[in-house]
């Protein structure tokens, strides 16, 4: 098995392992990476992911002397509620999980965020292994230690930084995804090309090797995390496409998948950047062409709902937002713009 390893030199360093077939080996991988070896782990997953992968993961753990139990969470964004995290705590407590045990987040970004927040806070922190099974989670959310839940006052506004001890990205798991989910993940890959890597950007019009793609994106993410683990500076470039993307995503009532919304946000940010003289002319056209080629639709949708969402977003209450623009493909810059400008020029 050819396995790529991306090392993340964060405050507590860890490896991201990328290859097909890794979930069936997760017991021995944890044995090599986690010292002391956990006696037991809780596996947080939703019912779809659980049906596909729980047995494989738990038997790989059992055969390495690690007991496993399953903690079910709702599918998608519904996993990211404090009430769900409380249910995870209850499951951990009922199995007498101690600080030398661990939690595995098995699934997409939402399960990862909820499991991560539970791991960050249960007993003031237990170890977390991320086992992402979506493209979006493999290239982004499983790396870098961001964990969060949604509250009535906003999405992702309660959370903690809690770096995983290991990330196990089994690219065979991606074959369980439908084409729409893969396209959504590709939206985030386009983002990495836009902000950091023109060669990656060019290669995305014809992806031949998914392991290579996941490894390249993971390596870019690792560099950002190492440079700015607490998200106070350059890591914020990873939000390219997210200011408008989040507004459109929320305005759609989460009908749009995250990567679909980010695709809209990236094209819109590039067009706005060109209008404001920040972005090299022609950039938005290149991004739109790539997105369409990838099967993503960059045209702005849910305009009026997005307008009121962005105008009332508590994060932007002073009327300004730090937004990521491109100078050109491969080079990002953060500029403060007024919400009014975004609404007038984009929405």
Q: How far is the CB of 218 from ligand GLY (least distance, A)?
A: 12
Residue 295 C-beta: closest distance to ligand GLY, Å: 22
Question: Closer CB to ligand GLY, residue 95 or residue 236?
Answer: 236
CB of 186 to ligand GLY, least distance (A): 16
Least distance to ligand GLY from the beta carbon of 40, Å?
29
- Using CB under 6 A, pick the residue from 97, 105, 238, 332 that binds ligand GLY: 238
Stretch that binds ligand GLY, among 80-88, 172-180, 230-238, 339-347 (CB under 6 A): 230-238
Chain centre distance of CA 171: 15
Q: Report the nearest approach of ligand GLY to the CB of residue 55 (Å).
A: 30
Q: Are 162 and 125 in contact (CB under 8 A)?
A: yes
For the stretch 195-208, what's the b/e string if a residue is b when 16 or more beta carbons lie within 10 angstroms of its beta carbon? bbbeebbebbeeee
**Omega of the bond prior to 36 within 30 degrees of 0, cis?**
yes
Q: Shortest approach of ligand GLY to residue 58 CB, angstroms?
A: 29
In total, the chain counts a number of residues equal to: 347
Answer whether 89's CB lies under 8 Å from 118's CB. yes
Contact 154, 315 (CB under 8 A): yes
Q: How far is the CB of 235 from ligand GLY (least distance, A)?
A: 5
271 makes contact with ligand GLY (CB under 6 A): no
Choice between 242 and 307, CB closer to ligand GLY: 242
Give the angle 131-157-146 at the CA atoms, nearest 5°: 30
Quickly tell me which residue has 């049906």 as its tokens: 51
- Considering just the CA atoms, what is the radius of gyration of the chain in Å? 20
Quick check: 172 binds ligand GLY (CB under 6 A)? no
Residue nearest ligand GLY, Cβ-based: 238
* Residues within window 130-149 making contact with ligand GLY, judged by CB under 6 A: 140, 144, 146
- C-alpha 147/C-alpha 88 separation (Å) is 14
Nearer to ligand GLY, 64 or 156 (CB): 156
Closer residue to ligand GLY in complex, CB, 172/231: 231
Query: Smallest distance from the beta carbon of 134 to ligand GLY, in angstroms?
Result: 14
Instruction: Considering the complex, state which of residue 221 and residue 271 has its C-beta at the smaller distance from ligand GLY.
Output: 221
Q: Two tokens at 29? A: 């991988």
CB of 236 to ligand GLY, least distance (A): 7
Give yes or no for a contact between 304 and 311, defined as CB atoms under 8 angstroms apart: no
Question: Which of 227, 276 has the CB closer to ligand GLY?
Answer: 227
Binding-residue pattern over the window 182 to 221 for ligand GLY, x denoting contact by CB under 6 A: ----------------------------------------
User: Which of 5, 7, 45, 3 shows the shortest CA–CA distance to 25?
Assistant: 3
Rounded CA-CA distance 337/81 in Å is 31
d(CA 301, CA 299): 6
231 binds ligand GLY (CB under 6 A): yes
The count of chain residues that interact with ligand GLY, using the rule CB under 6 A, is: 6
Structure tokens of 240? 């390219």
Q: Which is nearer to ligand GLY, 25 or 235 (CB)?
A: 235
Tokens 């991201």, residue located = 16
Element (H, E) at 203: helix 198-203
In the complex, the residues that contact ligand GLY under the rule CB under 6 A are: 140, 144, 146, 231, 235, 238
């Amino acid at each position: 098995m050819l396995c790529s390893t991306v090392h993340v030199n964060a405050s507590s360093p860890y490896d991201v392992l990328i290859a097909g077939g890794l979930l069936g080996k997760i017991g021995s991988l944890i044995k090599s990476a986690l010292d002391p070896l956990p006696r037991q782990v809780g596996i947080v997953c939703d019912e779809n992911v659980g049906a596909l992968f729980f047995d494989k993961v738990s038997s790989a753990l059992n055969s390495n002397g690690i007991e496993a139990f399953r903690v079910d969470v709702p599918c998608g964004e519904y996993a990211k509620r404090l009430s769900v995290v409380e249910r995870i705590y209850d499951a951990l407590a009922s199995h007498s999980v101690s600080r030398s045990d661990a939690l595995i987040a098995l699934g997409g970004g939402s399960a990862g965020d909820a499991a991560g927040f539970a791991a960050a806070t249960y007993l003031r922190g237990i170890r977390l292994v991320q086992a992402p099974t979506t493209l979006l989670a493999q290239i982004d959310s499983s790396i870098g230690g961001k964990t969060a839940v949604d509250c009535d006052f906003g999405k992702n506004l309660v959370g903690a930084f809690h770096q995983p001890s290991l990330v196990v990205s089994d690219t065979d798991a991606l074959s369980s995804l439908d084409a729409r989910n893969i396209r959504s993940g590709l939206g985030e890959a386009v983002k990495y090309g836009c902000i950091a890597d023109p060669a990656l950007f060019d290669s995305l019009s014809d992806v031949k090797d998914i392991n290579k793609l996941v490894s390249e994106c993971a390596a870019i993410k690792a560099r950002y995390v190492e440079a700015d683990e607490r998200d106070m500076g350059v890591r914020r470039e990873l939000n390219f496409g997210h200011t408008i993307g989040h507004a459109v995503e929320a305005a759609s009532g989460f009908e749009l998948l995250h990567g679909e919304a980010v695709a809209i946000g990236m094209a819109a940010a590039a067009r706005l950047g060109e209008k404001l003289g920040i972005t090299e002319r022609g950039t938005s056209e290149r991004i739109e062409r790539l997105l369409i080629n990838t099967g993503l639709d960059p045209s702005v949708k849910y305009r009026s709902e997005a307008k009121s969402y962005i105008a009332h977003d508590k994060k932007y209450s002073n009327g300004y937002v730090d937004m990521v623009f491109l100078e050109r493909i491969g080079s990002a810059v953060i500029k403060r713009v007024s919400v009014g400008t975004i609404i007038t020029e984009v929405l």
